[in-house]
Structure 1
Amino acid sequence: MSVSFEITAQPRSDTGKGASRRLRRTGMVPGIIYGGHQEPSMISLAHNELILHLDHEAFYSHILNLKVGDATEQVVLKDLQRHPAKPFIMHIDFQRISAGEKIRMQVPLHFTNQESAPGTKAGGQASHMLSDVEITCLPKDLPEFIEVDMGEMNVGDAIHLSELKLPAGVELPSSEHEDTIVVNIHSGHTATDEDETEEGAAE
């Protein structure tokens, strides 16, 4: 992996909505660490520091080093609650990882060669139906993203989940949605265009 993330948190004992509100007023974000065959741990993190990390796409699909007191644990981000109207993080969940146990994660999709695809050059338009995909893998195999190569796509072509080229050790957790379309290229000519053309001819 090309980058690493170091996060510092503080243990907390106060729980409940009132305690969380008091924390947020001091610029801290309440959170929790769970999993790894251990009891959950309540933590708090500096909001400003967290915002800087969240600006990096890789933060959402990366192994993170979380320091709480004198101990450092390896975790992944599992849930993030944002304020519905303000740019504030309300709560954050981390999951501990174990080297020999698979994890389930949402990983972003990176679409490549879209502009050079035959369908795009012919005037077609690409529609990205998914922006990320759920995968399972061991922590060591966790990719930062999944590449979707559009270089051979023509107008009318689509790439389905089952056609994604996954890195070694990475799997889709279920084949139930394998026919879900990830991206397609369709004609750029719309019904509105046709109507305007017909109206112009009639005039």
Structure 2
Amino acid sequence: MGVVLDVTVRENTGTGNAREARRNGQVPGVIYGGDEDSVAVAVKMNEVLKALNSGDFLGSMIELSHDGKNQKVFTKDVQFHPVTDFPVHVDFYRVTNKTLIDVEVSVNFVGEETSPGLKEGGTLNVVRYSIEVKCPAGDIPDSIEADVSKLEIGDAIHISDITLPKGAKPTITDRDFTIATIIASRAAVEEDEETEDVEAGDVPATEQTEDTDADEG
């Protein structure tokens, strides 16, 4: 387990109590979920900031410690002050290693250097930079790999082409949604259009004028 936070239980709830916690250098929060009642807690601001900077806090399973007892939770949400950008509230969801949760996982694209479409000057058009999956809280993947090494211009990679980590399933199940496509670059499209114009037999306006003059003579 990476992040462990010491929490204190707030006896009272409400806006006033939350403000008092913030004045005391703490971030108010709530623990909910499971078969237990919600519990209002507070965490030291510097500990929350340290956890945020670690990159293993928001959207991750962590542990909360209170009176020597540890509780595994999933950091469901963090609210930030609109001006200072400091955290002002945290929602923790009780979990076990096997609890199924919905979480956004970033997509890591591989094989770009060998993709025929990209080699020909195409562009990787990313439709989804992350995918929401349902997976055990103890096995949240760091990222999901999308291999584009065989894609030609005009090809696409869909969720059915992705090998998801064991135990993970996409939350969208009613369609084979697109992750990314290989599209022709704007320069290539314009070049093709110019080529089509020439092949169509278009004659510059100056040449048309000269032909007309010759006929009149």
| TM-score greater than 0.5 by the shorter chain | yes
1 or 2, which has the higher helix percentage?
2
Q: Is contact 2:110-2:147 (8 Å) kept?
A: yes
- Asked which structure has the greater CA Rg, the reply is 2
Normalized against structure 2, the TM-score is what?
0.76
Deviation of 1:154 (Å): 2.3
Q: In structure 2, how many angstroms separate the alpha carbons of the residues matched to 1:117 and 1:157? A: 11
Q: Is contact 1:108-1:146 (8 Å) kept?
A: yes
Deviation of 1:148 (Å): 1.7
Q: Is contact 1:34-1:95 (8 Å) kept?
A: yes
Q: In structure 2, how many angstroms separate the alpha carbons of the residues matched to 1:192 and 1:120? A: 14
Partner secondary structure for residue 51 of structure 1: helix
Deviations 1:62-100 (A, max 9, x none): 321221232111111111212233321121111111344
Structure 2 counterpart of 1:155, one-letter code: I
Normalized against structure 1, the TM-score is what?
0.81
- Counterpart of 1:175 in structure 2 is 173
Count the aligned residue pairs.
195
| Structure 2: tracts of 5 or more residues without a match | 195-203, 206-217
2:111 equivalent among 110, 113, 121: 113
Q: Which moved more, 1:113-122 or 1:180-189?
A: 113-122
Structure 2 counterpart of 1:134, one-letter code: E
- Counterpart of 2:37 in structure 1 is 39
Alignment of 1:2-21 (within 5 A): 4-21=2-19
| Structure 1: tracts of 5 or more residues without a match | none
Q: Is contact 2:80-2:88 (8 Å) kept?
A: yes
Q: Which has the higher contact order (CA 8 A, sep 6+)?
A: 1
The percent of aligned pairs where both chains have the same amino acid is 31
Q: Is contact 1:119-1:185 (8 Å) kept?
A: yes
